[in-house]
Structure 1
Amino acid sequence: MASREWTKHRRLLFLALLFCGFFIVSGVYALLKEDGKMGQSVMDQTALIMAGTDQEKTGEKAQIAIKVEQEALSLVAVGDVMLGRKIDDVMRTKGMGYPFLKTAPLLGQADIAFANLETPLFNQGNPSPEKEILFRGQPEYAQALSQAGFDVVSLANNHALDYGIRALSQTMTLLHGSGISTVGGGKNTDEARQPVIINEKGMSIAFLAYCKIEDITELHQQISKTKGGQGIPGIAPLIMEEIKKDIQKAKEKADIVIISLHWGGEYQDHPKNEQREIAHQLIDAGANVILGHHPHTIQGLEWYQGGLIAYSLGNFVFDQNQNARTQEGLLLHLKMQEAALRQAEVFPIYINQGQPEVAEGEKGAGIMKRTAYLSEQLGTQVRIKDGKGLIMPGDS
């Protein structure tokens, strides 16, 4: 009996210990679980606080970015604009604004829009007997350029005098009357060398324009040596000593100096070594941007000592349909702030029957790929994203 009772007591003791152990373990588990919830709650609250802080920071950054974007001065520059020959026919039949229908929004949104106008606007007079290729557009096309959004055009090119000095003089009068400033042309060569200065968003931008074409340069060198030449309308020739003086004078009045150069070999993909030397010297002299025209094909872009050189923007409004390259161009979008060039965007342009448009798909990709390749050969990187190119200071 005693043995059985002892066994019974041991079993009861064992069950009691087991029961107590169960409650102890359950209690500990409950405490740990609750503690875990509290810990997780604290972590969740911390995460929410941090997330809110990050959102506030992101919001602040976004506001700063928007502010910078709003304060930055934007300038759009395009290549050769020719409003004669087949383009004249198109504008007569489809309306004056037809060539600019698809690009006017980009031009109009910019603070300043610039082009090289390779057409005198004149419907009288006789053509120059020394030239085979002659351009001219109707006088009313000055209004079409204004409605398209252009603010400044260069007249320093080899077609400005196709119909003589009267045509050049009338072209300037018509453009000025339409609210468009002209640079590179004047009632004499001294006036042609004067800068056009535009003030926007607290900055002043000076434009200068010159023509390198040899026959024009020689003509104006002769004119400048004669007293009578002071009263003859003409365009500014590309003479380095004079341009350097003009840059220094412009810098006394403006924060940014932009130079348009009509130069280079037609239908060439690469600038000549002489062009690169000229461009580098002008940047060294104080120019910030050089805009090149005349080859009728795209050439590369180059960052040099904080300045941007676009050796050729190609065609913009033109009737050259003989090959794909003459139907392509670049629209350069510059952003400037605090008297410095901050960024350059490059849009691919395709000219469809005289009407330029921002090229998309394979066509746009091809234009940008070639632009990047030509720029890389000049030591400058063009980053391609979302169908356009981006160049930042230091991308060289």
Structure 2
Amino acid sequence: MSRKFRRRKRNRRIIFLILILVIGIVGVSLIINGLGNDNLIAEGDTSDNNEKNEQNTNQELEEEPEPEEEPDISINIAATGDIMFHPSQLDGAYNPLSGTYDFTNSFKAVKDILQEADIAIANFEGTTAGNEVYSYQGYPLFNAPDEALDAIKDAGFDILSTVNNHCLDTRKAGIIRTIEEIQARGMDSIGTYKEKPETRVLIKEVEGIKLAFIAYTEMVNGLESVLSPEDLDSMVNIIDEAKLKEDIAYAKEQNAEVIIASLHWGNEYARKQAERQEVLADMLFNEGVDIILGSHPHVIQQAKQLDYNGKSKFVAYSMGNFISNQRIETLGPYGMSEEETKYTEDGIIINIEIKKNGKTGEISINNIKYIPLWVYKGTTSDGGVEHVVYPIMDYIESDELNDNSKSRMNRSYNDTMAQVNVE
């Protein structure tokens, strides 16, 4: 075989191998490209699926109901004035056979009203110091039996302001024991303390609304000296602008939504509030107090809603006597005229609705309602004496009361409604 033929044969073999190599490379390329296209198709399919899934998810989200808004919340505060126990009330509640007292009859007609409220608050004027050192007595040094607190609790009260001109009647021991007995019955006290408190503010959350309560008095009947200056400062809230502002600031720090101040102030038996009451109320409202509940004059003074920078505030300068033995027959002998004394029989329960907007959280004071009260004094079938608080409109036509009582009730109703801001 010639060299030339062998060369051609070798060349053909090389060409053949090159062709096979080219075909292989092309095939592999086609396969790779095919796989790539498949991947592209697969990715395209995934994209389509994702779009479909997103559409389905969006559709499901659109179909799901929107979350419901928080509902509006409303609570009711029932506020009333001075709770006092004079000697005739003590005598009428005493059972000589058992040696115990029962005051529940005094509150039988208002019990349902108070128990319907979310918070019922009043001024407890006096002490419960027991009878080991002090006897049970009324004016001038009030000291009621513990059963008085049993009846107050049973009537529906939740908070008692214990700071007033009679809170020191039985001195330091009386302050301490009164607080202990109130708390032992599941009620709260405000305004006096057993020792220096961490805060003078009572915070209570009611149905999702946070309330702050503070209480102060103008006077303690000149008995400041029965306590050391340190104890007086720690245990008794005597009106002091710096302390009041400090308490309001604390309430705000605790995120209180409503601040309620119980104030024992004003002039006894004056049916018009003093200018100093209005000045103090204005300062408190500007600082952040929302509601002011007044006591001490023993007669009803003006009550009204006010607007402070678009926010509603409420003040009752005096809510009169809730229960006492102050009336024409008992105050006349002290040289007071009928015109001065007849209004001491008048009291009131003020119902205040506090509403929280579920959407905005905004708080508003609404639906102020006034329930005029009259204190009846009469004899029982066994010759005893009874004192009963009557809501006038529920009993003005009742057979339980005689014509004289109804006449006095009617006078009381008209005078009370003239004092409050009712249109």
Instruction: Provide the secondary structure at the position in 2 that maps to 1:352.
Output: strand
- Structure 1 residues 351 and 215 mapped into 2: Cα distance closer, same or farther (>3 Å)? closer
State the number of aligned residues: 302
In the TM superposition, residue 342 of structure 1 has moved relative to its aligned partner by 1.6
CA distance in 1 between counterparts of 2:343 and 2:114 reads: 23
> What is the match of residue 340 of structure 1?
364
The within-5 A match list for 1:171-190 is 171-188=178-195, 190=196
The within-5 A match list for 1:288-307 is 288-304=290-306, 305=308, 306-307=312-313
In the TM superposition, residue 181 of structure 1 has moved relative to its aligned partner by 0.3
Contact 1:212 1:262 in 2 (8 A): yes
- Structure 1 residues 317 and 192 mapped into 2: Cα distance closer, same or farther (>3 Å)? farther
Counterpart code for 1:351: V
Contact 1:77 1:333 in 2 (8 A): yes
Counterpart code for 1:235: V
CA distance in 2 between counterparts of 1:102 and 1:132 reads: 26
* Counterpart among 254, 279, 282 of residue 280 in structure 1: 282
Contact 2:305 2:314 in 1 (8 A): yes
CA distance in 2 between counterparts of 1:330 and 1:251 reads: 30
CA distance in 2 between counterparts of 1:216 and 1:240 reads: 20
In the TM superposition, residue 83 of structure 1 has moved relative to its aligned partner by 2.8
* Counterpart among 239, 256, 259 of residue 257 in structure 1: 259
CA distance in 1 between counterparts of 2:86 and 2:156 reads: 20
CA distance in 2 between counterparts of 1:363 and 1:132 reads: 25
The within-5 A match list for 1:216-227 is 223-224=228-229, 226=230
CA distance in 1 between counterparts of 2:348 and 2:81 reads: 7
CA-based RMSD:
2.6
* Counterpart among 82, 85, 89 of residue 83 in structure 1: 85
CA distance in 2 between counterparts of 1:317 and 1:350 reads: 9
Instruction: Provide the secondary structure at the position in 2 that maps to 1:213.
Output: coil
Whether 1:111 and 2:118 are equivalent positions in the alignment is yes
CA distance in 1 between counterparts of 2:417 and 2:85 reads: 30
CA distance in 2 between counterparts of 1:127 and 1:192 reads: 30
In the TM superposition, residue 271 of structure 1 has moved relative to its aligned partner by 0.7
Counterpart code for 2:327: N
- Structure 1 residues 193 and 373 mapped into 2: Cα distance closer, same or farther (>3 Å)? farther
CA distance in 1 between counterparts of 2:199 and 2:92 reads: 34
In the TM superposition, residue 84 of structure 1 has moved relative to its aligned partner by 4.2
Contact 2:268 2:296 in 1 (8 A): yes
Contact 1:257 1:286 in 2 (8 A): yes
Contact 1:143 1:178 in 2 (8 A): yes
CA distance in 2 between counterparts of 1:152 and 1:106 reads: 15
TM-score of the pair, normalised by structure 1: 0.70
The within-5 A match list for 1:1-396 is 71-93=73-95, 95-124=102-131, 126=133, 133-188=140-195, 190-191=196-197, 194-213=200-219, 215=221, 223-224=228-229, 226=230, 229=231, 234-253=235-254, 254-304=256-306, 305=308, 306-322=312-328, 323-338=341-356, 339-353=363-377, 354-360=387-393, 361=396, 366-375=411-420, 381-383=421-423
Contact 2:346 2:416 in 1 (8 A): no
CA distance in 2 between counterparts of 1:192 and 1:249 reads: 11
Q: Which has the higher Rg, Structure 1 or Structure 2?
A: 2
- Structure 1 residues 368 and 192 mapped into 2: Cα distance closer, same or farther (>3 Å)? farther
Q: Which runs of 5+ in 2 are unaligned?
A: 1-70, 96-100, 329-340, 357-362, 378-386, 397-406
> What is the match of residue 65 of structure 2?
none
- Structure 1 residues 300 and 113 mapped into 2: Cα distance closer, same or farther (>3 Å)? same
CA distance in 2 between counterparts of 1:249 and 1:258 reads: 13
- Structure 1 residues 141 and 210 mapped into 2: Cα distance closer, same or farther (>3 Å)? same
Contact 2:321 2:347 in 1 (8 A): yes
CA distance in 2 between counterparts of 1:247 and 1:111 reads: 23
Identity within the alignment, %:
26
Q: Tell me: higher relative CO, structure 1 or 2? Use CA pairs within 8 A at least 6 residues apart.
A: 2
Q: Which runs of 5+ in 1 are unaligned?
A: 1-66, 376-380, 384-396
Instruction: Provide the secondary structure at the position in 2 that maps to 1:266.
Output: coil
